[in-house]
Amino acid sequence: MTRFPHLFRPLRIRGCTLKNRIMSTGHDTTLPVDGTVNAELVAYQEARARGGVGLIVLQVSGVHETARYTNHVLMATSDAAIEGYRRVAEAVHRHGTVLFGQLFHPGREIAEADGGLLSVAYAPSSVPNERFRVMPRPLKPAMIASIVQGYGDAARRMQTAGFDGVEIVASHGYLPAQFLNPRVNLRVDAYGGDLDGRLRFLREVIADIRAKVTDGFVVGLRISGSEVDEQGLAENEVLEAVTHLSDTIDYVHITLGTSASLGGAIHIAPPMTFTTAYVVPHAARIKEHVRIPVFVTGRINQPQDAEAAIAGNHADVCGMTRALICDPDMPNKAARGAPEDIRACIACNQACIGHFHKGYPISCIQNPVSGRELRFGTLPQASPRKKVMIVGGGPAGMKAAVIATQRGHSVTLYEAERRLGGQALLAQMLPGRAEFGGLITNLERELELAGVQIHKGRRVDRAMIAAAAPDVVLIATGAKPYRPDFPQEGALQIVDAWQVLRNQGTLGQSVVVIDWRADWIGIGIAEHLAQQGRSVRLAVSGTAAGESLPLYVRDHSAASLHKLGVQVLPYMRLYGSDTDSVYLQHVSGGEAVVIEKVDALVLCTGHTPVDELSDTIEDLAIDIRIIGDAASPRTAEEAVYEGLSVAAEI
C-alpha cells in the first residue's frame, strides 16, 4: 500500500491519462540557444520523466514574433519547431509521462533586450509595467487576430510533434491576463470594457486552438489565483473569469503573482520565507466553483504536502517544479515509500530561477546534474578504483564523498567538528533561512545511502595523510571570516557575522553592519539585530542590499528590512572607526560619511580560505585537489558543484 494513495491515483483528462498527480510545470530552462529544442533540453526533461513524474509541461513557447520576452525563449511560430518538439515528446513518452506545451505571449512583460536593443512591447493598452519599466503600444485589431492565430498554429505544431495537450499561459500578468485586467486593459473596443469584452481575447484563443487540434487534445489554462499586486488581478476577478471559461477548457492551473511588479513577481518562484503549499487554499477556492480538474503550484516541495492537497480535495494535480529540479527521482522515491530519500528543494532560488534571471542554463545548488544531464547524467564506474581521503565535511566534501563512493572509489570523509555541514550550519541560523539547513540533511542522507565512511571530530594533518597513503586527497576545509585592515581608534565593539550568530560580544543599541558581499549574510544579520530591537544601519558596498541575491529573495528581503526599520546605505565602504563612530566612504564619489553614536560595528566582509594542509603535503606523491571555499570563498552552489565535478573526474 503506497503512503501516498491520492497522489498516485491516475487522472483521466480528455484524451490522456496522467499516471500520478505530480506535475513539472512549465519553466524556462534557458537551455535552448536558438529558440528550438536542443539535446540539453531533451536530456533534462527525459531525466524528470524517468524519475516518474506524471505530467511535464514544457517551458513557454512564444506564439508570435512579438512574444520574445527573453533572448532564449522557445518559439512555436514555424513548422521548423516541430522536429525538436518531437524529440522531447518521444523522450518523455518513453517513460509513460504525459507532455503538454505552454502557449505564451508576454504582452508588455518584455524582460530582456535582443542584442542590447529592447524590442517594441505590445499590450491591450498603453499602461506601463513597474518591474521592467516598459511602456507598451496598444494592439491593433489586426495584430490581435494574428496573435490569436499564433496560439492555434502553435498548438497544431505541438500536436503534430506528439504532445498530449497545451496550456495557455494567462498567469503572472502575461498578455491574456492583461486583457482580463480592467486596470491594464483600457480599451473601448470589443476587447475591453466589461468582463465579456475582457474575456474575448481568451475565448478567441481557445476557439482557435480547438479548431486546429483533434478532439482528444487537452487545452488547459494557467492563471494566477491572485496576482498579489494592487494593480493586478484580484482573487474575485480571477474566480469570475475562470468560472466563465470553465466549460471551454479541460483544466485550470492555479498559481500566484504577476511579472508586472517587484512584489507580485516574488510569487513566481516563492523563496523559503513562504510556507510550503501556501497556494493550495487559493486553488481550493476555485475548485469549489468549477467542475474541471484544478491544478495547483507554489512551494509544494514534498509528496506529503501534495498528498494532503489532493486528499483534502483542494486540488487534483500538484505542480512540484523546483522539487523536481532538485530531485528528478522524487516521484519514484515517493511511490516506493521512501520519501526520506528525497533531496528536498529548499527554495533558495539560487541556481534555478537565479540562473534564469542571469541568462544562464538552469541548475540546482543541491543537484548540479540538473541542466547538465549530458555531462553528469551517467557517471562511469571508476577505473582504477582509488583510495580517496576527503578533508572537510561541508557541502563540497560531502558531495564529493557521495559521488566518489558511488563511482566505486574507497572514500573516507574527515570533519574536524562534531557535526557535518560547515558554514551551512551557520547560514541556517539567519532569519527566514532555517530551511537552508536542508542542504545538510539531504547530503547526510546521500552519504548514508552511499555508505561513506565518516570520521567526525578528527582534524587531519600531514602525518595522518602520510600514514594513510591515499591516491587522492580532496581538501574541502572551507573558509573563515575575513577581517579587512582599517584604521581603528578607541574601543568600539567590533565583531563579525559568525560571532553575532554565536551570540558573542555585547552589541548595545546602535549597530552598523558592513555588508561587502551584498548577499544573505549582511541582510540576515541586519534583520536578526533589528528583530532584537536594535537600531540598525546596513552599509552595503553594492548598489542595493542583496544585490548579489536571486531577485525574488532580494526583493522579499528588502520588504523585511523596510518593515523592521533597518536603514540601508548603498554604495558604502568601510573606512575606519573610533570609540563611537564609524567612518564610511562613498564607493564611487569618494566622499566621507560619518555615523556617530554607534555601539557596535558588525563585519560581513566575506571570508578567507582555510587551507593549512595542501602546502604541507605537496611533496607526497598524492593527487591533491582543493575544492569549494578552501579554493576560493564563494557559495554553496560552487562548493557542491566542485564536489560533484572533481569526484566525477578522479
Task: Work out whether 352 is an interface residue with ligand SF4 (CB under 6 A).
Answer: yes
| DSSP symbols for 573-605 | EEEEE-SS-EEEEETTT--EEEE-S-SEEEEE-
What separation in angstroms does the CA of 614 have from each of 401, 445, 461, 596, 633? 18, 29, 10, 45, 16
Q: Which stretch binds ligand FMN (CB under 6 A): 22-30, 434-442, 596-604, 637-645?
A: 22-30
Query: 61, 31, 34: which is closest to 45 by C-alpha?
Result: 31
Nearer to ligand SF4 among residue 325 and residue 584 (C-beta): 325
Tell me whether residue 251 or residue 356 sits nearer to ligand FMN (CB atom).
356
Calculate ∠ Cα 263-269-270, nearest 5°.
Answer: 65
Contact assessment for residue 303 and residue 338, using Cβ atoms and an 8 Å cutoff: no
Least separation in angstroms between CB 442 and ligand SF4: 9
Catalytic residue among 69, 122, 174, 251: 174
352 binds ligand FMN (CB under 6 A): yes
Report the residue number, 62 or 328, with the smaller CB distance to ligand SF4.
328
Write the DSSP assignment of 526-588 as a string of letters. Answer: HHHHHHTT-EEEEEESSSSTTTTS-HHHHHHHHHHHHHHTPEEE-SEEEEEE-SS-EEEEETT
| Nearest distance, CB of residue 345 and ligand FMN, angstroms | 7
- DSSP summary character for residue 135: -
**With CB cut-offs between 5 and 8 Å by kind, which of ligand FMN, ligand SF4, none does residue 26 bind?**
ligand FMN
> Taking CB within 5 to 8 Å according to partner kind, which of ligand SF4, ligand FMN, none is near residue 470?
none
Output 308-315 pairs: Cβ under 8 A, ≥24 positions apart.
308/277, 309/277, 309/280, 309/283, 310/6, 310/7, 310/9, 310/21, 311/5, 311/6, 312/284, 313/284, 313/287, 314/280, 314/281, 314/283, 314/284, 314/287, 315/254, 315/280, 315/283, 315/284, 315/287
Tell me how far the alpha carbon of residue 383 is from its chain's centroid: 36
Assigned C-alpha cell, 396: 563540497
Query: Of the two residues 302 and 577, which places its CB atom closer to ligand FMN in the complex?
Result: 302
Peptide bond into 10 cis (omega under 30): no
Q: For ligand FMN, what does the binding mask look like between residues 221 and 240, x meaning CB under 6 A?
A: -x------------------
Q: Rounded to the nearest 5 degrees, what angle is found at the Cα of 321, between the Cα atoms of 404 and 248?
A: 155
Q: Contact with ligand FMN (CB under 6 A): which of 322, 343, 399, 573?
A: 322
Shortest distance in whole angstroms from residue 176 CB to ligand FMN: 12
Report the C-alpha gap between 26 and 58 in whole angstroms: 5
Smallest separation (angstroms) from ligand SF4 to the CB of 20: 20
- Based on the shown chain and the rule CB under 6 A, indicate whether residue 362 belongs to the binding site for ligand FMN: yes
- Which residues of 251-348 form beta strands (DSSP E)? 251-255, 294-297, 317-319
- 572 vs 590: CA distance, rounded Å: 9
* CB-nearer residue toward ligand FMN: 322 or 407: 322
Q: Which of 11, 13, 19, 27 binds ligand FMN (CB under 6 A)?
A: 27
Q: Is 322 in the site for ligand SF4 (CB under 6 A)?
A: yes
Residue 312: CB minimum distance to ligand FMN, A: 18
Verify binding: residue 60, ligand FMN, rule CB under 6 A.
yes
> How is residue 243 written as a grid cell?
468560472
Binding of ligand SF4 by 440 (CB under 6 A): no
Q: Tell me the window of 69-77, 346-354, 499-507, 559-567 that interacts with ligand SF4 (CB under 6 A).
A: 346-354
Closest CA to 277 of 290, 296, 292: 296
Supply the minimum distance, in Å, between the C-beta of residue 366 and ligand SF4.
5
Per-residue mark of binding to ligand SF4, 365-404 (x: CB under 6 A): xx--------------------------------------
Amino acid at residue number 3: R
CB neighbour list of residue 575: distance below 8 Å, 6 or more residues apart: 486, 487, 583, 584, 585, 592
Does residue 53 bind ligand SF4 (CB under 6 A)?
Answer: no
Residue 299 sits in the site that holds ligand FMN (CB under 6 A): yes
**Interface positions, 566-595, toward ligand SF4 (CB under 6 A):** none
Whole-number Å distance between alpha carbons of 638 and 644: 10
> Among candidates 155, 61, 51, which has minimal Cα distance to 97?
51
Among 13, 31, 43, 269, binds ligand FMN (CB under 6 A): 269
CA distances (Å), origin 351, targets 369, 444, 637, 642: 11, 21, 7, 14
Residue 48 binds ligand FMN, judged by CB under 6 A: no
Asked if residue 57 binds ligand SF4 (CB under 6 A), the reply is no
Strand pairing report for 55-62 and 74-75: parallel
Q: Is 300 in the site for ligand FMN (CB under 6 A)?
A: yes
**300 touches ligand SF4 (CB under 6 A):** no
CB atoms near residue 503 (< 10 Å): 7
- 174 included as an active-site residue: yes
Among the listed ranges 7-15, 149-157, 280-288, 364-372, the one in contact with ligand SF4 (CB under 6 A) is 364-372
Q: Concatenate the DSSP letters of all residues of 43-55 into one string.
A: HHHHHHHHTT-SE
Stretch that binds ligand SF4, among 128-136, 141-149, 151-159, 318-326 (CB under 6 A): 318-326
Q: Which is nearer to ligand FMN, 56 or 610 (CB)?
A: 56
Q: Is 325 in the site for ligand SF4 (CB under 6 A)?
A: yes
List the single partner that 166 binds among ligand SF4, ligand FMN, none, CB under 5 to 8 Å by kind.
Answer: none
Region from 133-141, 316-324, 487-495, 547-555 binding ligand FMN, contact rule CB under 6 A: 316-324
- For 19, 325, 453, 463, the CA distances from 49, given in Å and listed in that order, are 11, 12, 33, 49
184-208: b (≥16 Cβ within 10 Å) or e? bbebeeebbeeeebbbbbbebbbeb
For ligand FMN, the closer of residues 257 and 392 by Cβ is 257
Least Å distance between CB 282 and ligand SF4?
21
170 binds, among ligand SF4, ligand FMN, none (CB under 5 to 8 A by kind): none
Tell which one of 170, 348, 514, 529 touches ligand SF4 (CB under 6 A): 348
Report what 442 binds from ligand SF4, ligand FMN, none; CB cut-off 5-8 Å by kind.
none
Residue 232 interacts with, from ligand SF4, ligand FMN, none (CB under 5-8 Å by kind): none
Residues lying near ligand SF4 in the complex (CB under 6 A) are found at 322, 325-326, 345-352, 364-366
Residues lying near ligand FMN in the complex (CB under 6 A) are found at 25-28, 59-60, 102, 169, 171, 222, 255, 268-269, 297-300, 319-323, 352-353, 356, 362
Active-site annotation, residues: 174
